[in-house]
Amino acid sequence: MKLLLDIGNSSVNWALEKGGQLAMDGVFSYDKNTFDKNLQENLSFLQTPSNILVANVAGNKVFADLQSWVKQRWRIECWQPSVSTKFNQLKNSYNDIQEMGIDRWLAMIAAWEEHHTALCVVGCGTALTIDSIDLEGNHFGGYIIPGIELMQQALIMKTESINVSTNKHVSIAYAQGTQAAINNGAFFATTAMIDRVVMNLSDELKTLPKCIIFGGMAELISRLLKNEFQHESNLVLYGLLIAYEDYQ
């Protein structure tokens, strides 16, 4: 039994793997200052896994805290992959691959290994990421913009006259109040960005790419998109498992 962890900037997605399938999964929010406590509260009920696979974009301190907690509880080491220039037919476009978050790369690996076709892969977390891949597995590149909540927080914090809270009401309708206007504007900006990328990629490839969306806000955002997106809640974890099997 392997324990798979996808550590984002504000939450952890986890799953147990048995026989190549994810048998159990979950998600929990965490605080970097109390990460060991968050791990204890959410994962201590698990039996000792054979391996722990980690995709981490939260920094070295979080990984060090994880390693310490795991060694104390289960006396095993954590394994984490790194971004590479290629994975089978999938080719990374980044000039400096160290600049790419491991979650984006693993998501692309999982999507490509499943579909082997042109792809638009969208991650909806603290940040919104969009990556485009052609029919031969060439990664054209991508975009990163603030996610829904971060976009709203930035506007509220940096504007003196706006005193409202963030919201997650799924709407792009005209708003008749400031809070709704900020909420709807964030959803509109996000979905317009995604729709435009799909349109541009379709024009360039002369075919509609397979569209895949993942992350904490994926289900909400996908309701507003023009094209059909396949929601894969554990895309990064599947990519993590694929990378580990290739490493072995």
- Quote the number of domains for the chain: 2
- pLDDT tens for each residue of 184-238: 999 999 999 999 999 999 999 999 999 999 999 999 999 999 999 999 999 999 9
**Where would I find the H helices in the chain?**
35-43, 60-74, 102-115, 148-158, 178-205, 218-222, 235-247
Residue 52, SS3 per DSSP: strand
Q: What contacts 20, CB < 8 A, 6 or more positions away? A: 241
Q: Are residues 52 and 103 in the same domain?
A: no
Angle between helical axes of 35-43 and 60-74 (0-180°, round to 10): 50
Q: Are residues 114 and 221 in the same domain?
A: yes
Q: Are residues 190 and 105 in the same domain?
A: yes
pTM across the whole model = 0.95
Please give the pLDDT value at position 144: 97
Q: Are residues 52 and 110 in the same domain?
A: no
Average pLDDT (33-55) is: 96
State the pairing for strand pair 51-56/78-79: parallel
- pLDDT tens for each residue of 158-184: 887 787 878 889 999 999 999 999 999
What's the number of CA atoms in the CB half-sphere (13 Å) around residue 119? 28
Q: Are residues 72 and 155 in the same domain?
A: no
Contact 108, 139 (CB under 8 A): yes
Q: Are residues 216 and 107 in the same domain?
A: yes
CA distance 76 to 8: 22
Active centre residues (catalytic): 103
Does 248 fall in a domain?
no
